[in-house]
Copies of this chain bind each other. A is one copy, B any other.
Protein backbone atom coordinates (compact mmCIF):
# COMPACT_ATOMS: atom_id res chain seq x y z
CA UNK A 1 0.00 0.00 0.00
CA UNK A 2 1.50 3.29 -1.08
CA UNK A 3 2.15 5.87 1.60
CA UNK A 4 0.10 9.03 2.03
CA UNK A 5 2.95 11.52 2.14
CA UNK A 6 3.98 11.19 -1.49
CA UNK A 7 5.11 14.54 -2.96
CA UNK A 8 3.75 15.71 -6.27
CA UNK A 9 7.22 15.45 -7.72
CA UNK A 10 9.71 13.08 -6.15
CA UNK A 11 13.32 14.22 -6.28
CA UNK A 12 15.86 11.89 -4.70
CA UNK A 13 18.32 13.52 -2.33
CA UNK A 14 21.99 13.36 -3.25
CA UNK A 15 22.56 10.53 -0.78
CA UNK A 16 19.67 8.51 -2.22
CA UNK A 17 20.95 8.73 -5.79
CA UNK A 18 22.03 5.44 -7.37
CA UNK A 19 25.79 4.91 -7.32
CA UNK A 20 25.95 2.18 -9.95
CA UNK A 21 24.49 1.28 -13.32
CA UNK A 22 22.61 -1.98 -13.52
CA UNK A 23 23.58 -4.40 -16.28
CA UNK A 24 20.37 -6.17 -17.18
CA UNK A 25 22.24 -8.81 -19.18
CA UNK A 26 23.57 -10.34 -15.94
CA UNK A 27 20.06 -11.51 -15.12
CA UNK A 28 19.06 -12.61 -18.62
CA UNK A 29 19.01 -16.37 -19.10
CA UNK A 30 19.07 -15.92 -22.86
CA UNK A 31 21.78 -13.35 -23.48
CA UNK A 32 21.50 -10.95 -26.42
CA UNK A 33 23.15 -12.35 -29.51
CA UNK A 34 26.73 -11.14 -30.11
CA UNK A 35 27.68 -8.56 -32.73
CA UNK A 36 29.14 -10.24 -35.82
CA UNK A 37 31.99 -9.16 -38.07
CA UNK A 38 30.25 -8.14 -41.33
CA UNK A 39 32.97 -9.89 -43.37
CA UNK A 40 33.53 -13.17 -41.51
CA UNK A 41 30.17 -13.42 -39.69
CA UNK A 42 32.15 -14.38 -36.57
CA UNK A 43 31.49 -12.69 -33.22
CA UNK A 44 33.33 -9.38 -32.95
CA UNK A 45 36.29 -9.52 -30.59
CA UNK A 46 37.34 -6.74 -28.23
CA UNK A 47 40.40 -6.18 -30.43
CA UNK A 48 38.25 -5.63 -33.48
CA UNK A 49 35.91 -3.27 -31.66
CA UNK A 50 38.70 -1.26 -30.02
CA UNK A 51 39.43 0.46 -33.31
CA UNK A 52 35.93 1.90 -33.38
CA UNK A 53 34.91 2.34 -29.73
CA UNK A 54 36.78 3.36 -26.57
CA UNK A 55 38.38 0.43 -24.75
CA UNK A 56 36.23 0.66 -21.63
CA UNK A 57 33.06 0.96 -23.70
CA UNK A 58 34.02 -2.17 -25.63
CA UNK A 59 34.40 -3.98 -22.31
CA UNK A 60 30.93 -2.81 -21.26
CA UNK A 61 29.50 -3.76 -24.64
CA UNK A 62 30.72 -7.34 -24.40
CA UNK A 63 30.14 -7.89 -20.67
CA UNK A 64 27.06 -10.05 -20.16
CA UNK A 65 27.95 -10.93 -16.56
CA UNK A 66 28.87 -8.01 -14.28
CA UNK A 67 25.63 -6.98 -12.61
CA UNK A 68 26.67 -3.62 -11.18
CA UNK A 69 28.95 -0.98 -12.66
CA UNK A 70 29.96 1.72 -10.17
CA UNK A 71 29.37 5.14 -11.75
CA UNK A 72 32.70 7.04 -11.89
CA UNK A 73 32.85 10.06 -9.57
CA UNK A 74 33.35 12.49 -12.48
CA UNK A 75 30.06 11.32 -13.97
CA UNK A 76 28.29 11.54 -10.61
CA UNK A 77 29.59 15.12 -10.44
CA UNK A 78 28.15 15.89 -13.87
CA UNK A 79 24.85 14.26 -12.90
CA UNK A 80 24.49 16.95 -10.23
CA UNK A 81 23.95 19.42 -13.04
CA UNK A 82 20.69 17.83 -14.16
CA UNK A 83 19.93 14.78 -12.04
CA UNK A 84 17.99 13.49 -10.22
CA UNK A 85 15.21 13.90 -12.71
CA UNK A 86 11.77 14.18 -11.15
CA UNK A 87 9.29 11.34 -10.87
CA UNK A 88 5.99 13.15 -11.28
CA UNK A 89 2.49 12.12 -10.35
CA UNK A 90 0.26 13.24 -13.24
CA UNK A 91 -2.56 14.46 -11.02
CA UNK A 92 -3.86 16.98 -13.57
CA UNK A 93 -3.95 14.41 -16.37
CA UNK A 94 -5.69 11.87 -14.12
CA UNK A 95 -8.30 14.47 -13.22
CA UNK A 96 -8.83 15.40 -16.87
CA UNK A 97 -9.25 11.73 -17.83
CA UNK A 98 -11.38 11.08 -14.73
CA UNK A 99 -9.60 7.76 -14.31
CA UNK A 100 -9.09 5.70 -11.15
CA UNK A 101 -5.59 4.88 -12.45
CA UNK A 102 -2.56 6.49 -10.85
CA UNK A 103 -0.18 7.83 -13.46
CA UNK A 104 3.49 8.56 -12.84
CA UNK A 105 6.09 9.75 -15.29
CA UNK A 106 9.85 10.02 -15.07
CA UNK A 107 10.75 13.30 -16.80
CA UNK A 108 14.15 13.34 -18.49
CA UNK A 109 13.74 16.58 -20.44
CA UNK A 110 14.94 19.15 -17.89
CA UNK A 111 18.41 19.57 -19.28
CA UNK A 112 19.55 21.68 -22.18
CA UNK A 113 19.95 18.73 -24.53
CA UNK A 114 16.24 18.25 -23.83
CA UNK A 115 16.24 14.48 -23.47
CA UNK A 116 17.55 11.40 -21.70
CA UNK A 117 20.32 11.09 -24.30
CA UNK A 118 22.67 13.04 -22.04
CA UNK A 119 22.90 10.06 -19.67
CA UNK A 120 24.89 8.01 -22.15
CA UNK A 121 26.61 10.98 -23.80
CA UNK A 122 28.33 11.98 -20.58
CA UNK A 123 29.45 8.40 -19.93
CA UNK A 124 30.85 7.90 -23.41
CA UNK A 125 32.60 11.27 -23.37
CA UNK A 126 34.10 10.48 -19.98
CA UNK A 127 35.63 7.20 -21.13
CA UNK A 128 36.96 8.85 -24.27
CA UNK A 129 38.62 11.51 -22.11
CA UNK A 130 40.06 8.89 -19.72
CA UNK A 131 41.59 7.09 -22.68
CA UNK A 132 43.35 10.32 -23.65
CA UNK A 133 41.49 10.67 -26.93
CA UNK A 134 41.24 13.96 -28.83
CA UNK A 135 37.61 13.60 -29.73
CA UNK A 136 34.66 11.54 -30.86
CA UNK A 137 32.48 11.28 -33.94
CA UNK A 138 28.81 10.48 -34.16
CA UNK A 139 25.69 10.82 -36.26
CA UNK A 140 22.46 12.52 -35.36
CA UNK A 141 19.06 12.60 -36.99
CA UNK A 142 16.68 15.07 -35.37
CA UNK A 143 19.58 16.18 -33.21
CA UNK A 144 18.77 15.08 -29.66
CA UNK A 145 21.77 12.80 -29.47
CA UNK A 146 24.12 15.26 -31.17
CA UNK A 147 23.11 18.01 -28.78
CA UNK A 148 23.62 15.78 -25.76
CA UNK A 149 27.02 14.64 -26.98
CA UNK A 150 28.09 18.23 -27.72
CA UNK A 151 27.24 19.22 -24.15
CA UNK A 152 29.16 16.28 -22.72
CA UNK A 153 32.20 16.94 -24.93
CA UNK A 154 32.23 20.64 -23.97
CA UNK A 155 32.34 19.59 -20.32
CA UNK A 156 35.39 17.36 -20.86
CA UNK A 157 36.91 19.63 -23.53
CA UNK A 158 36.81 16.94 -26.20
CA UNK A 159 36.43 17.63 -29.91
CA UNK A 160 33.04 16.53 -31.22
CA UNK A 161 32.32 15.87 -34.91
CA UNK A 162 28.67 15.32 -35.69
CA UNK A 163 27.25 14.04 -38.99
CA UNK A 164 23.71 15.31 -39.16
CA UNK A 165 21.21 13.83 -41.61
CA UNK A 166 21.08 16.48 -44.35
CA UNK A 167 17.33 17.00 -44.30
CA UNK A 168 17.45 17.66 -40.55
CA UNK A 169 20.51 19.88 -40.91
CA UNK A 170 18.57 22.05 -43.31
CA UNK A 171 15.18 21.89 -41.63
CA UNK A 172 16.36 22.05 -38.02
CA UNK A 173 18.95 24.84 -38.04
CA UNK A 174 18.29 25.52 -34.35
CA UNK A 175 19.42 22.09 -33.22
CA UNK A 176 22.58 22.60 -35.27
CA UNK A 177 23.05 25.97 -33.60
CA UNK A 178 22.77 24.50 -30.10
CA UNK A 179 25.53 22.06 -31.02
CA UNK A 180 27.64 24.99 -32.18
CA UNK A 181 27.04 26.78 -28.86
CA UNK A 182 28.70 23.73 -27.30
CA UNK A 183 31.59 23.89 -29.76
CA UNK A 184 30.78 20.87 -31.93
CA UNK A 185 31.43 20.79 -35.68
CA UNK A 186 28.33 19.72 -37.55
CA UNK A 187 28.48 18.35 -41.10
CA UNK A 188 25.42 17.60 -43.22
CA UNK A 189 25.37 13.97 -44.30
CA UNK A 190 26.02 12.59 -46.83
CA UNK A 191 29.10 14.78 -47.30
CA UNK A 192 32.22 14.86 -49.41
CA UNK A 193 34.40 14.49 -46.29
CA UNK A 194 34.20 10.67 -46.35
CA UNK A 195 34.54 7.97 -49.00
CA UNK A 196 31.20 6.48 -48.11
CA UNK A 197 29.59 9.91 -48.37
CA UNK A 198 31.19 10.54 -51.76
CA UNK A 199 29.98 7.15 -52.98
CA UNK A 200 26.42 7.75 -51.83
CA UNK A 201 26.38 11.25 -53.34
CA UNK A 202 27.68 9.89 -56.65
CA UNK A 203 24.93 7.27 -56.74
CA UNK A 204 22.13 9.48 -55.37
CA UNK A 205 23.08 13.13 -56.00
CA UNK A 206 19.79 14.49 -54.65
CA UNK A 207 19.63 12.41 -51.48
CA UNK A 208 18.60 14.12 -48.27
CA UNK A 209 20.46 11.56 -46.19
CA UNK A 210 19.52 8.94 -43.63
CA UNK A 211 20.60 7.84 -40.19
CA UNK A 212 22.21 4.70 -41.59
CA UNK A 213 24.30 6.78 -43.97
CA UNK A 214 25.37 9.26 -41.28
CA UNK A 215 26.48 6.36 -39.08
CA UNK A 216 28.71 5.08 -41.88
CA UNK A 217 30.33 8.50 -42.29
CA UNK A 218 30.90 8.95 -38.57
CA UNK A 219 32.48 5.50 -38.23
CA UNK A 220 34.77 6.09 -41.22
CA UNK A 221 35.88 9.43 -39.75
CA UNK A 222 36.61 7.89 -36.36
CA UNK A 223 38.61 5.02 -37.81
CA UNK A 224 40.55 7.30 -40.15
CA UNK A 225 41.55 9.94 -37.56
CA UNK A 226 44.11 9.02 -34.89
CA UNK A 227 42.86 9.90 -31.42
CA UNK A 228 39.17 9.63 -32.39
CA UNK A 229 36.54 7.00 -31.68
CA UNK A 230 32.94 6.59 -32.70
CA UNK A 231 30.06 6.87 -30.22
CA UNK A 232 26.40 5.95 -30.64
CA UNK A 233 23.33 7.12 -28.73
CA UNK A 234 21.11 4.06 -28.76
CA UNK A 235 20.77 0.37 -29.70
CA UNK A 236 24.07 -0.75 -28.11
CA UNK A 237 24.30 -2.71 -24.85
CA UNK A 238 26.59 -0.04 -23.32
CA UNK A 239 23.97 2.64 -23.94
CA UNK A 240 21.29 0.66 -22.11
CA UNK A 241 23.75 0.19 -19.25
CA UNK A 242 24.25 3.97 -18.89
CA UNK A 243 20.56 4.63 -19.30
CA UNK A 244 19.75 2.27 -16.43
CA UNK A 245 20.19 5.36 -14.24
CA UNK A 246 16.65 6.35 -15.31
CA UNK A 247 15.14 3.14 -14.00
CA UNK A 248 17.38 3.01 -10.93
CA UNK A 249 16.29 6.46 -9.81
CA UNK A 250 12.68 5.63 -10.56
CA UNK A 251 12.77 2.40 -8.58
CA UNK A 252 14.49 4.00 -5.58
CA UNK A 253 11.88 6.78 -5.58
CA UNK A 254 8.97 4.34 -5.89
CA UNK A 255 10.36 1.97 -3.25
CA UNK A 256 10.81 4.92 -0.88
CA UNK A 257 7.08 5.58 -0.99
CA UNK A 258 5.93 1.96 -1.39
CA UNK A 259 4.62 2.54 -4.90
CA UNK A 260 4.57 -0.47 -7.20
CA UNK A 261 3.85 0.11 -10.87
CA UNK A 262 1.52 -2.37 -12.56
CA UNK A 263 2.28 -1.19 -16.07
CA UNK A 264 5.57 0.30 -17.30
CA UNK A 265 5.47 2.07 -20.65
CA UNK A 266 8.24 3.51 -22.79
CA UNK A 267 8.59 4.69 -26.35
CA UNK A 268 10.95 2.60 -28.44
CA UNK A 269 13.10 3.62 -31.39
CA UNK A 270 16.54 2.12 -30.86
CA UNK A 271 15.58 1.25 -27.30
CA UNK A 272 17.80 3.52 -25.17
CA UNK A 273 15.06 5.06 -23.08
CA UNK A 274 12.88 1.99 -22.70
CA UNK A 275 15.87 -0.20 -21.86
CA UNK A 276 17.01 2.28 -19.24
CA UNK A 277 13.62 2.86 -17.65
CA UNK A 278 12.68 -0.79 -17.29
CA UNK A 279 16.13 -2.14 -16.30
CA UNK A 280 15.72 -2.73 -12.54
CA UNK A 281 12.05 -3.70 -12.91
CA UNK A 282 12.86 -6.18 -15.66
CA UNK A 283 15.67 -7.47 -13.44
CA UNK A 284 13.13 -8.33 -10.75
CA UNK A 285 10.91 -9.94 -13.33
CA UNK A 286 13.78 -12.00 -14.72
CA UNK A 287 14.72 -13.12 -11.21
CA UNK A 288 11.09 -14.02 -10.49
CA UNK A 289 10.85 -11.49 -7.65
CA UNK A 290 8.04 -9.38 -9.10
CA UNK A 291 5.86 -9.10 -12.16
CA UNK A 292 5.26 -6.05 -14.30
CA UNK A 293 3.38 -5.48 -17.54
CA UNK A 294 6.12 -3.89 -19.65
CA UNK A 295 5.09 -2.17 -22.87
CA UNK A 296 7.17 -0.84 -25.76
CA UNK A 297 5.39 1.75 -27.89
CA UNK A 298 6.56 2.35 -31.44
CA UNK A 299 5.31 4.40 -34.39
CA UNK A 300 2.94 2.56 -36.70
CA UNK A 301 5.08 3.89 -39.54
CA UNK A 302 8.31 2.31 -38.20
CA UNK A 303 7.14 -0.86 -36.43
CA UNK A 304 10.31 -2.89 -35.85
CA UNK A 305 9.06 -4.92 -32.87
CA UNK A 306 5.45 -5.34 -33.92
CA UNK A 307 6.01 -6.07 -37.61
CA UNK A 308 9.74 -6.68 -38.02
CA UNK A 309 11.65 -9.95 -37.96
CA UNK A 310 14.23 -11.15 -35.41
CA UNK A 311 17.36 -11.58 -37.47
CA UNK A 312 20.92 -10.43 -37.99
CA UNK A 313 21.01 -7.17 -39.92
CA UNK A 314 23.27 -4.28 -40.80
CA UNK A 315 23.28 -1.34 -38.41
CA UNK A 316 24.17 1.20 -41.13
CA UNK A 317 23.68 1.87 -44.81
CA UNK A 318 27.36 1.66 -45.73
CA UNK A 319 27.56 -1.78 -44.08
CA UNK A 320 30.80 -0.86 -42.30
CA UNK A 321 29.39 -1.59 -38.82
CA UNK A 322 29.10 -4.99 -37.15
CA UNK A 323 25.94 -6.99 -37.71
CA UNK A 324 23.47 -7.08 -34.84
CA UNK A 325 20.70 -9.59 -34.17
CA UNK A 326 17.60 -7.55 -33.58
CA UNK A 327 13.99 -7.03 -34.50
CA UNK A 328 14.46 -5.20 -37.77
CA UNK A 329 12.61 -3.85 -40.76
CA UNK A 330 15.73 -4.11 -42.93
CA UNK A 331 18.66 -1.69 -42.92
CA UNK A 332 17.41 0.31 -45.90
CA UNK A 333 13.94 0.80 -44.47
CA UNK A 334 13.10 4.49 -44.05
CA UNK A 335 9.73 5.65 -42.64
CA UNK A 336 7.36 7.47 -45.01
CA UNK A 337 8.36 11.12 -45.66
CA UNK A 338 5.38 12.45 -43.72
CA UNK A 339 6.48 10.65 -40.56
CA UNK A 340 7.12 13.33 -37.96
CA UNK A 341 7.33 11.52 -34.68
CA UNK A 342 10.96 10.36 -34.45
CA UNK A 343 11.85 6.78 -33.44
CA UNK A 344 12.84 6.10 -37.02
CA UNK A 345 15.65 3.58 -36.65
CA UNK A 346 15.10 0.36 -38.59
CA UNK A 347 16.15 -1.99 -35.76
CA UNK A 348 15.72 -2.45 -32.02
CA UNK A 349 18.34 -2.87 -29.29
CA UNK A 350 19.58 -6.51 -29.19
CA UNK A 351 18.84 -6.67 -25.45
CA UNK A 352 15.23 -5.57 -25.87
CA UNK A 353 14.84 -7.74 -28.96
CA UNK A 354 15.84 -10.81 -26.97
CA UNK A 355 13.57 -9.91 -24.03
CA UNK A 356 10.69 -9.36 -26.43
CA UNK A 357 11.37 -12.64 -28.17
CA UNK A 358 11.38 -14.32 -24.76
CA UNK A 359 7.93 -12.91 -23.99
CA UNK A 360 9.17 -10.71 -21.14
CA UNK A 361 7.53 -7.58 -22.58
CA UNK A 362 4.91 -6.67 -25.13
CA UNK A 363 4.88 -4.09 -27.90
CA UNK A 364 2.24 -1.94 -29.52
CA UNK A 365 2.31 0.62 -32.30
CA UNK A 366 0.36 3.87 -32.60
CA UNK A 367 -0.36 6.16 -35.58
CA UNK A 368 1.15 9.62 -35.38
CA UNK A 369 -2.01 11.73 -35.31
CA UNK A 370 -3.04 9.90 -32.12
CA UNK A 371 0.45 10.59 -30.77
CA UNK A 372 0.10 14.34 -31.36
CA UNK A 373 -3.41 14.39 -29.89
CA UNK A 374 -1.97 12.82 -26.75
CA UNK A 375 0.94 15.27 -26.79
CA UNK A 376 -1.36 18.25 -26.90
CA UNK A 377 -3.65 16.92 -24.17
CA UNK A 378 -0.60 16.31 -22.01
CA UNK A 379 0.85 19.76 -22.66
CA UNK A 380 -2.40 21.44 -21.73
CA UNK A 381 -2.87 19.52 -18.49
CA UNK A 382 0.65 18.78 -17.27
CA UNK A 383 2.33 21.92 -18.58
CA UNK A 384 5.19 20.21 -20.39
CA UNK A 385 5.54 20.36 -24.17
CA UNK A 386 6.57 16.78 -24.90
CA UNK A 387 8.80 15.51 -27.67
CA UNK A 388 6.90 13.48 -30.28
CA UNK A 389 9.01 10.47 -29.32
CA UNK A 390 7.93 10.71 -25.68
CA UNK A 391 4.35 11.25 -26.76
CA UNK A 392 4.11 7.67 -27.97
CA UNK A 393 4.40 6.64 -24.32
CA UNK A 394 1.92 9.31 -23.27
CA UNK A 395 -0.58 7.98 -25.81
CA UNK A 396 -0.26 4.41 -24.52
CA UNK A 397 -0.47 5.58 -20.90
CA UNK A 398 -3.67 7.47 -21.62
CA UNK A 399 -5.10 4.38 -23.30
CA UNK A 400 -4.26 2.27 -20.24
CA UNK A 401 -5.81 4.86 -17.94
CA UNK A 402 -8.98 4.92 -20.03
CA UNK A 403 -9.18 1.13 -19.83
CA UNK A 404 -9.01 1.49 -16.04
CA UNK A 405 -11.88 3.95 -16.25
CA UNK A 406 -13.97 1.28 -17.99
CA UNK A 407 -13.03 -1.54 -15.64
CA UNK A 408 -12.72 0.50 -12.46
CA UNK A 409 -9.21 -0.86 -11.85
CA UNK A 410 -6.87 1.41 -9.87
CA UNK A 411 -3.74 0.45 -11.73
CA UNK A 412 -0.48 2.30 -11.19
CA UNK A 413 0.93 3.31 -14.55
CA UNK A 414 4.52 4.46 -15.00
CA UNK A 415 5.83 5.90 -18.23
CA UNK A 416 9.02 7.51 -19.43
CA UNK A 417 8.77 11.12 -20.57
CA UNK A 418 12.04 11.23 -22.44
CA UNK A 419 12.21 14.82 -23.57
CA UNK A 420 10.77 18.14 -24.64
CA UNK A 421 9.42 19.19 -28.02
CA UNK A 422 10.93 22.67 -28.41
CA UNK A 423 12.62 21.63 -31.65
CA UNK A 424 9.64 19.73 -33.02
CA UNK A 425 7.27 22.60 -33.61
CA UNK A 426 7.24 22.11 -37.36
CA UNK A 427 5.59 18.76 -36.63
CA UNK A 428 3.15 20.32 -34.18
CA UNK A 429 2.33 22.93 -36.82
CA UNK A 430 1.58 20.20 -39.39
CA UNK A 431 -0.69 18.56 -36.87
CA UNK A 432 -2.55 21.80 -36.15
CA UNK A 433 -2.92 22.60 -39.81
CA UNK A 434 -4.36 19.15 -40.57
CA UNK A 435 -1.39 18.31 -42.79
CA UNK A 436 -0.44 15.17 -40.89
CA UNK A 437 -1.65 11.78 -41.99
CA UNK A 438 -1.06 8.23 -40.81
CA UNK A 439 0.74 6.34 -43.51
CA UNK A 440 1.27 2.76 -42.40
CA UNK A 441 3.48 0.52 -44.53
CA UNK A 442 1.75 -2.42 -46.22
CA UNK A 443 2.84 -6.02 -45.73
CA UNK A 444 4.09 -6.08 -49.31
CA UNK A 445 6.29 -3.04 -48.74
CA UNK A 446 7.78 -4.49 -45.57
CA UNK A 447 8.40 -7.79 -47.40
CA UNK A 448 10.55 -5.98 -49.98
CA UNK A 449 12.91 -4.74 -47.29
CA UNK A 450 12.93 -8.08 -45.50
CA UNK A 451 13.96 -9.80 -48.70
CA UNK A 452 17.23 -7.82 -48.62
CA UNK A 453 18.28 -8.95 -45.12
CA UNK A 454 21.71 -10.60 -45.01
CA UNK A 455 21.55 -14.41 -45.01
CA UNK A 456 23.20 -15.59 -41.81
Taking beta carbons and an 8 Å cutoff, which residues of A are in contact with B? Answer: 7-9, 11, 13-14, 80-82, 91-92, 110-112, 114, 151, 154-155, 173-174, 177-178, 180-183, 376, 379-385, 420, 422-423, 425-426, 428-429, 432
Copy total for this chain: 2
A287→B384 CA distance, assembly (Å): 40
Nearest CB to that of A157 among chain B residues? B380
Task: Determine which residue in A155, A380, A381, A382 has the highest number of CB atoms from chain B within 10 A of its CB, and name it.
Answer: A380
With contact pairs A383-B82, A422-B423 given, residues A432 and B7 touching in the complex (Cβ less than 8 Å): no
CB distance from A233 to the nearest CB of B (A): 17
> Within the complex, which residue of B91, B379, B422, B426 is in contact with A182, where a contact is CB–CB below 8 Å?
B379
With contact pairs A155-B383, A422-B422 given, residues A173 and B11 touching in the complex (Cβ less than 8 Å): no
> Within the complex, which residue of B92, B111, B177 is in contact with A383, where a contact is CB–CB below 8 Å?
B111
Nearest CB to that of A429 among chain B residues? B177
Question: 29 A-B residue contacts at CB 8 Å?
Answer: A7-B13, A7-B14, A8-B14, A8-B80, A11-B11, A81-B92, A81-B382, A82-B383, A92-B155, A111-B383, A112-B379, A112-B384, A112-B385, A151-B383, A155-B381, A155-B383, A173-B429, A174-B425, A174-B426, A177-B425, A177-B429, A178-B425, A180-B428, A181-B376, A181-B385, A182-B380, A183-B380, A422-B422, A422-B423
CB distance from A388 to the nearest CB of B (A): 12
Nearest CB to that of A13 among chain B residues? B7
> Within the complex, which residue of B111, B180, B385 is in contact with A178, where a contact is CB–CB below 8 Å?
B385
CB distance from A112 to the nearest CB of B (A): 4
Nearest CB to that of A177 among chain B residues? B425
- Chain B residues with Cβ below 8 Å from A381 are 155
A82→B182 CA distance, assembly (Å): 27
